[in-house]
Amino acid sequence: MAAAPNTAAPAADSRRLPALDWMRGLVMVLMVIDHAGDMWDADKNLTDTWWLWVPGSTLDTAQWFSRWITHLCAPTFVFLAGTSLALSLERRLAAGANASAADRHIAVRGLFIASLDLLWVSVWWCLHGSLNGPLLQVLYAIGLSMVAMVLLRRLPTRLLLAVGLALVIGSELFVDFGNIFDRGGMFWLQAALVNTGLWGFPSLSAPDWGFYIFYPLLPWLGIMIVGWVFGRWLLQHGNRGSAAPERLLLGCGLGALLLFVAVRYPTSGYGDMQLFRADDSLIQWLHVNKYPPSVTFAALELGIMALLLSLFFFVQRRKWARGRGIAQAGPLLVFGQTALFFYLVHIPVLALPQMLVGERHGIGARYASTLLTLIVLYPACLWYRSVKQRKAASLLRFL
């Protein structure tokens, strides 16, 4: 969501890679399906973590699938945030920009983005009644990962990739599976770094009040690092006429899916984050742990993302994709280039009507509200992109 350094139309910046914006735009659409379920679908499925799943429970196929397709969102947001940040920063540094000033900008922007989870997103979820306290989720993870990259970006590429993979694969070693809802002490630090949890100060008047920490920093930082490495690679091999990105992404995507199968095949063991496969059904194979992201979750979602992104790079090279203006005003590209604006606006657009109606319905209401939200947001995002293009030096650059 924080991935695009600016939201000008592609004609205003020939260096932009439409494939990245298309991919980001696609997962923005999927994200609305997920959050529309929170707002409108009384039967929404939330079993994608070991502390929510009751072994032996029956999964409604339509509800499960409507949730599962949205798993692609967060890993793609974080990965592409790293990719686009690397592209924009390292281009500026190569052009002679001041490194200290660039680092300060990244740090300030990262802290600002992380603060939006508390100052904006949490407010709407609380007003809607979905939460009883502040929420730390994907903006927190993206923002603080950006701050961490101020130092980590100085590592050699191979070492940086090794650190990123180690964080993604090794974070399960530090998860305390029996301590998810501790409410005091130093649990907040463990929860904020590697664990998922609810941390707060319960009282008789608000026994469930606390900080909801759904996106611990370190595993998501690992995904951003891998995205950053891909951004570095694109600077060398990602010109619009080259098929190299397609081949690399295809190979990495298939490799990630093979890793998913290898780790998921045993019915118990490391890599599943305690959400083990109960049987051989497709649903059980794909029923992986998101909070925090297991190895199987990261491998599956990043593998799917890589295959889709490979397809988008293939389309990007086609003359008809450029000649017919597909890269100018297509919904996926517009949403992808205004992703953080889209994210901040879509929550009240979904929440306010439901708060007025006062009732949740079923899966049909979820998809109807998704469609209406996208219809409303498309012209809003077109307008915002044009405003930011005209005022590139304003505070809007932080969005």
- Does 208 or 41 have the greater pLDDT score? 41
Question: Is 3 part of any domain?
Answer: no
Q: Is the pLDDT of residue 85 over 50?
A: yes
Whole-number pLDDT of residue 4: 39
Question: Structurally, how many domains does the chain consist of?
Answer: 1
Domain that residue 279 falls in: 10-398
Percent of the chain with pLDDT strictly greater than 70: 88
232 CB neighbour count, 10 Å cutoff: 19
Asked if 175 and 292 touch (Cβ cutoff 8 Å), the reply is yes
Among candidates 276, 146, 275, 156, which has minimal Cα distance to 223? 146
Question: Is 1 part of any domain?
Answer: no
Question: Is 198 part of any domain?
Answer: yes
Exposed (0-12), middle (13-18) or buried (19+): which is 342, by Cβ within 10 Å? buried
Question: Is 299 part of any domain?
Answer: yes
Whole-number pLDDT of residue 211: 77
Question: Is 4 part of any domain?
Answer: no
Question: Is 87 part of any domain?
Answer: yes
Range of lowest pLDDT (141-155, 189-203, 227-241, 342-356): 189-203
Q: Is the pLDDT of residue 145 over 90?
A: yes
Question: Is 97 part of any domain?
Answer: yes
pTM above 0.85, yes or no: yes
Asked if 291 and 48 touch (Cβ cutoff 8 Å), the reply is yes
Range of lowest pLDDT (3-7, 240-244, 352-356, 374-378): 3-7
Q: Is the pLDDT of residue 206 over 70?
A: no
Q: Is the pLDDT of residue 221 over 90?
A: yes
Whole-number pLDDT of residue 100: 93
Q: Is the pLDDT of residue 56 over 70?
A: yes
Q: How many CA atoms, within 13 angstroms, populate the side-chain half-sphere of residue 253?
A: 16
Question: Is 2 part of any domain?
Answer: no
Residue 41 φ/ψ, nearest 5 degrees = -100, 110
Whole-number pLDDT of residue 9: 36
